Amino acid sequence: MITKNTYQTFIEELKSYKEDKYRDFSLKLIKTNYIILGVRTKYLDKLAKKINYKDIDNYYKLVNFKYYEEVMILGFVIAKIKDNNTRIKYFTKFISKVDNWAICDMVINRFKLKEEELPSYLPYLKKYINSNHEFTIRAAYVFLLNYYIDEKYLDTIFDLVSKNKNNSYYVMMAIAWLLSYCYFLNKKKLLNFLENTNLNIFIYNKTIMKIRESLRISKEEKDRLKLLLKKCN
């Protein structure tokens, strides 16, 4: 079982991997109130493997939420939890502490949800989009982007996007990425959704732009899509 003393040793080891140049690079990409030490992901993975996810109750209480990397490691450990209910319980607590896109996205990518687990997550994602917290809302759309890009979930995705009421940058960007991927599942259905849904003009245009950036479509198709872009007032 991890204790206060062993956790302090854990933090000292984390600090031993810091690189000033990597910290400076990270500071340019990530806006956060946490202190960025500058530790590469491979070392965060190494440290996360030292924490037994079965000790999550005790471990969560010891985290100080001081360092960016410390918070990232906690997310990696939560992602390893085997029981769905326990995992989502701690993730919901965790995401409310997240103040940047990098931790949000990287932790969700570590979940590796199985096909049979997907339906059980949808009620939680619906709750997330009603949050007042930017990165809790983003989490819902990043989950959809990572695990639900399947034609059978298209209507669910469109429903959850249409219910978004948050126009913060990182929420809108997540939605645009999500919708751009939906284009390659069903082009007609996605374009119909864009045309008939009162989306924020930033989301609408950014979705078209993301689709046009793809190498999977021809120049002719990109030109047709360009005509759909709306002018901002």
* Integer Cα distance of 205 and 11 in angstroms: 44
Q: Which of 84, 112, 140 is the last residue of a domain?
A: 112
- Using one digit for the tens of pLDDT, what is the confidence trace for 47-64? 999 999 999 999 999 999
Number of domains in the chain: 2
Overall average pLDDT of the 3-31 stretch: 96
pLDDT score for 1 = 81
Overall average pLDDT of the 147-166 stretch: 96
Same domain flag for 85 and 123: no
Residue 74, pLDDT above cutoff 60: yes
Q: Are 177 and 143 in contact (CB under 8 A)?
A: no
* Residue found by looking up tokens 């990409």 in the block: 29
Same domain flag for 101 and 136: no
Same domain flag for 4 and 97: yes
- pLDDT band with cut points at 50, 70 and 90 for residue 33: very high
Percentage with pLDDT > 70 across the chain: 99
